[in-house]
Amino acid sequence: MSFWNLWGPAKGAGAAKPSDWFVTMAREWNARNRTKVELTYFSGNTYTNGSTLPTAFLADKGPDIFALSPGDFLRYANGGVLEDLTPYLTREAIDDFVDGALDTRTVDGKIYGLPLSLQPHAFYYGIDAWERSGLSEGDIPRTWDQFLSVAERLTTKKRFGLTLETTPGYLQNFCWYPFMWAGGADAVAPDGTSSAFREPGAVEALRFWQETIQRGVAPRRSLGTGSTDITANLLVDYCGIQHCGPYGASTLRSAAPHFAFGVFKQPVPPGGTYTTDVGGWAFVVNRRGRNPEAAARFVVWALGSMEESCVKRMADWCTVANSDMPPRKSVARLAEQRGYFEDPIMKYFHEEVVPGGRGEPRYPPNVYQPISEAIQACQLSGADPRARADRAADLIEDALATYEGARIF
């Protein structure tokens, strides 16, 4: 069975531990089962924003098992290519997932994906650059105005103050959504038939991202594989602040153990409310694959069993291989027993970043696309945020009017 993923086997700064975890998982399964798993690695940009996965499915050559983000879930769920994992799960195991962790992978009560971890985003900063710019802990920004001011102070001839994702794709939308939500706007209104993208919160979020480019505090392109590639940007002093999930901590520590860094949660606009996006990849099964039953048993064995070895495997991922937030209660308990949340960075994510977070939304491609185009036009081409928000809202409502598929949220 082929398993397409973003972690292993791979080489490079910060890649060793995640890769080792994946290789070990496959080896343990293969040692006990006749139907073997073969890992195939793709880099983040190739997999997240590229056409590799959808093109493979269009050619009926999709992998047997693959990693899938909530943002792209409906493309495959509505396409009827995902295997229902519910029959392979026990009630105890389903209840062990933390509240909301399975929501974006569930359709009509059937579970189509199991999350590997939870990944709320926050902002990392390098303490040395911070202090050399005359900043102190009291300068941690809480508002957008403060955020831009700090970014300007961090900006030099060789360093940008911060990076925000500039490559169009699900990752960029994911990174941008909390800016919109903080101002009270949304892509899809609660009634499910209209868009709240015309609301001032969306317009101001588009304007804020645009302003970071126009002021010269953010680059038009990040280095490495993108704005979440923390070793290629923050570590080399290409930027002073970087948007990333908790996995950024383990990546930095693996690549440069002496690099000092801090984390702060998302600043808010005037009158806004704090929130962040809680993402996280899931393992899913291609129901048109060579052996969907064996693939489903593998996924449940890997991430959805109450066996001690499964709980330990997931805790190893969250606390050793990739520093993420646990998606299951039993895994969180084991992580706590290991002292995971005593680490200052993980403690901050656990106590400050996660509360108020919102799960990454799942939108069909014709809802996701107008948002992506609006972000791109405003951020990089100087388009009018008001006009682009109106246009995107019109397109989203056109899409909603004819939409047939799993519930959007």
pLDDT per residue as tens digits for the range 232-257: 999 999 999 999 999 999 999 999 99
Is omega for the bond preceding 18 within 30 degrees of 0, making it cis? Answer: no
Per-residue confidence (pLDDT) for residue 86, from 0 to 100: 98
| Residue type (1 letter), 40 | T
Per-residue confidence (pLDDT) for residue 11, from 0 to 100: 82
Q: For residue 278, what is the enclosing H or E element?
A: strand 276-279
Longest alpha-carbon distance in the chain: 61
Is it the case that residue 116 has pLDDT exceeding 80?
A: yes
pLDDT category at 52 given cuts 50, 70, 90 is confident
Per-residue confidence (pLDDT) for residue 12, from 0 to 100: 72
Higher pLDDT, 25 or 409: 25
| Residue type (1 letter), 287 | R
DSSP 70: G
Give residues with Cβ within 8 angstroms of 388, minimum separation 6: 206, 373, 374, 377, 378
β-strands 122-126, 261-264 pairing: antiparallel
Considering only CA atoms, which of 213, 234, 233, 211 is closest in space to residue 224? 233
Considering only CA atoms, which of 229, 169, 228 is closest in space to residue 49? 169
DSSP 88-139: GS-HHHHHHBPTTTTGGGEETTEE--EES-BEE-EEEEEHHHHHHTT--GGG
Beta strands in 156-238 (DSSP E): 160-163
Query: What span, in angstroms and rounded, lies between the C-alpha atoms of 237 and 154?
Result: 10
pLDDT category at 141 given cuts 50, 70, 90 is very high
Q: For residue 335, what is the enclosing H or E element?
A: helix 329-337
Is it the case that residue 320 has pLDDT exceeding 80?
A: yes
First CA to last CA distance, the chain:
32
Per-residue confidence (pLDDT) for residue 3, from 0 to 100: 98
pLDDT category at 56 given cuts 50, 70, 90 is very high
Is it the case that residue 13 has pLDDT exceeding 80?
A: no
Provide the edge-to-edge strand list for the sheet that holds 239-244: 160-163, 239-244, 122-126, 261-264
Is it the case that residue 45 has pLDDT exceeding 90?
A: no
Per-residue confidence (pLDDT) for residue 61, from 0 to 100: 93
The number of angstroms, rounded, from the C-alpha of 136 to the middle of its chain's C-alpha atoms is 29
Beta strands in 6-61 (DSSP E): 38-41
pLDDT category at 14 given cuts 50, 70, 90 is low
Give residues with Cβ within 8 angstroms of 180, minimum separation 6: 186, 187, 201, 202, 205
Give residues with Cβ within 8 angstroms of 24, minimum separation 6: none
Q: For residue 298, what is the enclosing H or E element?
A: helix 292-303
Give residues with Cβ within 8 angstroms of 136, minimum separation 6: none
| Long-range contacts of residues 151-155, Cβ cutoff 8 Å, at least 24 apart | 151/212, 151/215, 151/217, 151/218, 151/240, 151/241, 152/215, 152/217, 154/125, 154/129, 154/130, 154/217, 154/239, 154/240, 154/241, 155/216, 155/217, 155/240
What percentage of the chain carries pLDDT values higher than 70? Answer: 98
Pair of tokens at residue 362:
């799942």
User: Exposed/middle/buried for 95, CB within 10 Å: 0-12, 13-18, 19+?
Assistant: exposed
Query: What span, in angstroms and rounded, lies between the C-alpha atoms of 211 and 282?
Result: 34
Mean pLDDT of 281-307: 98
